[in-house]
A and B are shown apart, each in its own frame.
Chain A
């Protein structure tokens, strides 16, 4: 990405007002929404792993929780983008931020593969123990989201406030 573009982004009225005034509030909303994203995902993942909600069908847990995950995820992306814009030139070179984006992408691919392949056979295991592929998807998901949060927190320590 060109420096000119990053500088333009950083100079937009929205970016300036976030940088000068709204950053703490935007960051707070980011933490609230990430809590909903990660927390609901952990509940779905632990159901896959057979560690929680074992008396409930998997499809029920995922149907009831994932809408919250998606709405909160959209808000996280929005607030994350606003924070990036506030200091685009500073964040662009930030290594933890780049690692976080790669982990988010991997979490998305893991979810996509699960939805398109593993979840197809859900009728066979909905009420009971999930097959190996589904349990693996849950474990990978938990690991990746812990990484997303870990590297996300690290961004602020590298950028230097």
Chain B
């Protein structure tokens, strides 16, 4: 089954039809997606800042990672579920869209970098090394790239 056929099949499923025929469903799911991405982005920003020796410095980087990483995990799950529902509702918008695949590659990269960053935070280095600061900056750049790619999905017609 090729991607176009798969996309048509998804579109014909009962859940997809239900989302498509409910006027508020797509904007509603998108709002949940945006709220979760905002929370995840702010948590990632604080983890990155802390590893770079800035931000919430009254707390050890280890304690901060222990609080923020599970919260980021919850946000990520909600993002994946809401994102999956959006794909299901309008598969032709994403399944055959190159920008969507760029976003997914960036997402995997961001997850790997964030887990690495969390690992650094847990080891509580006394002073942030140049590598750690570079990692923190790169991590935020990749999360930023995901947001940009996400928005461009709507403009890149496959």
Q: How far apart sit A59 and B59, CA to CA, in the bound complex (Å)?
A: 13
Q: A24-B151, A28-B148, A154-B27 are in contact. Are A34 and B38 (CB under 8 A)?
A: yes
How many positions in chain B have a CB within 8 Å of any CB in the partner chain?
Answer: 31
Chain B 11-47 interface 0/1 with A at a Cβ cutoff of 8 Å (1 = within): 0000000000000001100110011011111110110
8 Å CB interface, A34-63 against B: 34-40, 42-43, 52-53, 55-57, 60-61
For A24, list chain B residues within 8 Å (CB).
Answer: 151-152, 154-155
Q: How far apart sit A77 and B37, CA to CA, in the bound complex (Å)?
A: 19
Residues of chain A touching chain B, judged by Cβ–Cβ distance below 8 Å, are 24-25, 27-28, 31-32, 34-40, 42-43, 52-53, 55-57, 60-61, 64-65, 68, 146, 149-150, 153-154, 157
For B56, list chain A residues within 8 Å (CB).
Answer: 53, 56, 60-61, 64
Cβ A146 vs Cβ B35 within 8 A: yes
9 nearest A-B pairs in the assembled complex, by CB-CB distance: A39-B42, A38-B38, A35-B38, A35-B41, A39-B38, A28-B151, A28-B148, A24-B155, A150-B31
22 A-B pairs (CB sep. < 8 Å): A28-B148, A31-B147, A32-B41, A32-B144, A32-B148, A35-B38, A35-B147, A38-B42, A40-B42, A40-B45, A42-B42, A53-B56, A53-B67, A55-B63, A61-B56, A65-B46, A149-B34, A149-B35, A153-B30, A153-B31, A154-B27, A157-B27
Q: Is the interface of B mostly helix, strand, loop or mixed?
A: helix
Chain B 120-158 interface 0/1 with A at a Cβ cutoff of 8 Å (1 = within): 000000000000000000000000100110111011000
